Structure 1
């Protein structure tokens, strides 16, 4: 029986490996985004804690140095939050780029797999037509052989 050989198998293998690399890059970008988002949430919670501490210090006996430290901590935390928001946006853009690359790699792999399927279908049709041709030749040979034997 004939063996099916796909001419573009090397390219398909490369596309599969590129897709795997894209999946890994996407997972890394996703993890980075999640980590940066978690840092942002922690900073926001830290700011809320400082603000609550500031309110408590304002209600109690006035301790001016403690209130000033708390107020400066709130300001520093706000600056850190702004910087972290920028970092989160960058991580989100990187995640989107990785997602787009993954989608592209998946489309290319699927395209080459579909081409392989189509090529295999053509191969099977050709194989079936050759088998039918051989069967027809065998039947006609046997028929002609039987006619010769009976006719002679």
Structure 2
């Protein structure tokens, strides 16, 4: 029996490779998003702590200069939080773009795998037909030999 050789096997391999690369890109984008989100969470937590410290300072006798310095630092944290929010949105956009790219690559790979499967089914069917014809021919020859 003949061995199945798919003509476009290299293309199927390329499509699998492209899909794998798209998966890595998505994984990388998700990792960067997590880092940005973690950084944002840390900034928010730090701002909360400094805000509480400012409230405590306002209730006690603290020089106005220290209170102004804390307020200035809170303003800096607010600015950093705004910047980090923008970075998180950007990272989210990259994740969505990577997801979309992966979806396209998965569909592309699926199309080629289905084409390969159809080609294999045609090959198997042709092989079975050829085998059946050979068996029929052997049976005919035996019948002819047995019948004088």
Q: TM-score, normalization: structure 1?
A: 0.94
Note the aligned Cα RMSD (angstroms). Answer: 0.9
The answer for the alignment partner of 1:136 in structure 2 is 136
1:41-86, Cα deviation, whole Å (9 max, x unpaired): 1111111111111101000113211101100001000001001111
The answer for the alignment partner of 1:56 in structure 2 is 56
- Which secondary structure does the structure 2 equivalent of 1:6 belong to? coil
Aligned partners of 1:16, 1:127: CA distance in 2, in Å?
Answer: 28
> Is 1:118 the equivalent of 2:113?
no
Give 1:63-142 correspondences, 5 Å limit.
Answer: 63-142=63-142
Aligned partners of 1:125, 1:94: CA distance in 2, in Å?
Answer: 46
- Which secondary structure does the structure 1 equivalent of 2:2 belong to? coil
Q: Which one is further off, 76-85 or 60-69? A: 60-69
Corresponding residue pairs, total: 148
Q: Which runs of 5+ in 2 are unaligned?
A: none
Q: 1:37 offset after TM fit, Å?
A: 0.7
> Is 1:26 the equivalent of 2:26?
yes
The answer for the alignment partner of 1:3 in structure 2 is 3
- Which secondary structure does the structure 2 equivalent of 1:62 belong to? coil
Aligned partners of 2:7, 2:46: CA distance in 1, in Å?
Answer: 60
1:109-148, Cα deviation, whole Å (9 max, x unpaired): 122111111111111110000011011111111111222x
The answer for the alignment partner of 2:38 in structure 1 is 38
Structure label with greater radius of gyration: 1
Q: Which runs of 5+ in 1 are unaligned?
A: none
Aligned partners of 2:69, 2:45: CA distance in 1, in Å?
Answer: 18
The answer for the alignment partner of 1:14 in structure 2 is 14
Structure 1 runs (4+) deviating above 6 angstroms are none
